[in-house]
């Protein structure tokens, strides 16, 4: 087992990736993790392809410098707009042992367990929806289980979460509006992918407006079980991940605000340090 601190890096534009980290910690408590939230520049959802790529590459590079060999982009927008470029163009020039994985493929591969009739809805940021990553990946990786995909961009949801507006009347208004749009675009939808890691934080409000019979796929569960499988298939990477149950938190914004909000989102007090990305 590795002796130094060689954590798994978990990156998001802000607080959303905490919904993924929470499941990592519960499923793999012996592993070490570093969480990095680029709160100073969140949200990424309405930013251009070039900017999301640039910011994500900066974060990934920082996490590698901090000792990570494996980084999970716990952000759909970064997975949609930056992952492929980083995997194809940047990693080969860095170190052949480094890996970056995203959250879209695990969700897509798991959707067969959720849908019965193949009518799937996607809720995501404008960036994720416009990238068309979900329809493309569902076509490739859902094993023919998905026959119809409908997407709805929810540009206001991430700013609501970043500002800790989890259950105000304004939040209910926007959540119900986007869900109604999605369900009226395809009334046959029987399962919805929450295609943004911030959205599980709005779960009580989302559940209020999604009829009982419709399944909701939250990424934390599927991404964590796919990560366990990945490490079992790649023992050389597993050996490069240290296991002393330590989790460190970094933000590009104000540390006190991060600690206060993160505690609400992750259900325990956390100590955070500031990091500058460039």
Interacting residues with ligand DGL (CB under 6 A) = 12-14, 16, 42-45, 75-77, 125, 128, 158, 196-198
Helix (H, G, I), strand (E, B) or coil at 186: coil
Where do the H-state alpha helices sit in 66-146?
A: 76-81, 83-85, 91-94, 104-110, 126-131, 133-141
Residue closest to 226 by CA, chosen among 115, 104, 133, 120: 104
Nearer to ligand DGL, 131 or 242 (CB): 131
Question: Is 196 part of the annotated catalytic residue set?
Answer: yes
- Evaluated on CA atoms 98, 223, 181, 136, the torsion sign reads positive
Where do the H-state alpha helices sit in 13-48?
A: 18-27
Question: Which listed residue (68, 154, 196, 272) is catalytic?
Answer: 196
Nearer to ligand DGL, 222 or 241 (CB): 222
Question: Is 75 part of the annotated catalytic residue set?
Answer: yes
Nearer to ligand DGL, 10 or 275 (CB): 10
Beta carbon of residue 154, minimum distance to ligand DGL (angstroms, whole number) = 10
153 contacts 73 by C-beta, under 8 angstroms:
no
**Helix, strand counts (H, E) of the chain:** 14, 10
Beta carbon of residue 92, minimum distance to ligand DGL (angstroms, whole number) = 26
Beta carbon of residue 10, minimum distance to ligand DGL (angstroms, whole number) = 11
Nearer to ligand DGL, 14 or 135 (CB): 14
Beta carbon of residue 268, minimum distance to ligand DGL (angstroms, whole number) = 20
125 contacts 44 by C-beta, under 8 angstroms:
yes
Residues with catalytic roles: 75, 196
């Amino acid at each position: 087992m590795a002796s130094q601190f060689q954590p798994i890096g978990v990156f998001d534009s802000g607080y959303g990736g905490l919904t993924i980290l929470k499941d990592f910690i519960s499923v793999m408590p012996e592993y070490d993790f570093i969480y990095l939230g680029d709160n100073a520049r969140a949200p990424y959802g309405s930013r251009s392809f070039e900017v999301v790529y640039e910011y994500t590459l900066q974060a990934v590079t920082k996490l590698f410098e901090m000792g990570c060999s494996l980084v999970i982009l716990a952000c759909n927008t970064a997975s949609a707009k930056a992952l492929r470029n980083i995997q194809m163009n940047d990693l080969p020039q860095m170190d052949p042992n480094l890996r970056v994985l995203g959250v879209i493929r695990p969700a897509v591969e798991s959707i067969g367990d959720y849908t019965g009739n193949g009518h799937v809805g996607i809720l995501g940021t404008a960036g994720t929806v416009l990238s068309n990553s979900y329809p493309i990946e569902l076509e490739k990786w859902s094993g023919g289980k998905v026959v119809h995909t409908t997407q709805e961009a929810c540009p206001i949801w991430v700013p609501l979460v970043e500002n800790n507006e989890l259950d105000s009347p304004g939040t209910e208004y926007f959540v119900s509006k986007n869900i109604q749009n999605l369900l009226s675009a395809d009334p046959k939808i029987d399962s919805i992918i929450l295609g943004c890691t911030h959205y599980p934080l709005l779960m009580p409000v989302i559940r209020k407006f999604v009829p009982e019979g419709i399944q909701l796929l939250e990424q934390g569960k599927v991404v964590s079980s796919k990560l366990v499988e990945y490490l079992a298939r790649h023992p050389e990477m597993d050996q490069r991940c240290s296991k002393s149950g330590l989790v460190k938190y970094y933000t590009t914004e104000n540390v006190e605000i991060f600690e206060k909000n993160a505690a609400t989102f992750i259900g325990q007090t956390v100590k955070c340090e500031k990091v500058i990305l460039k």
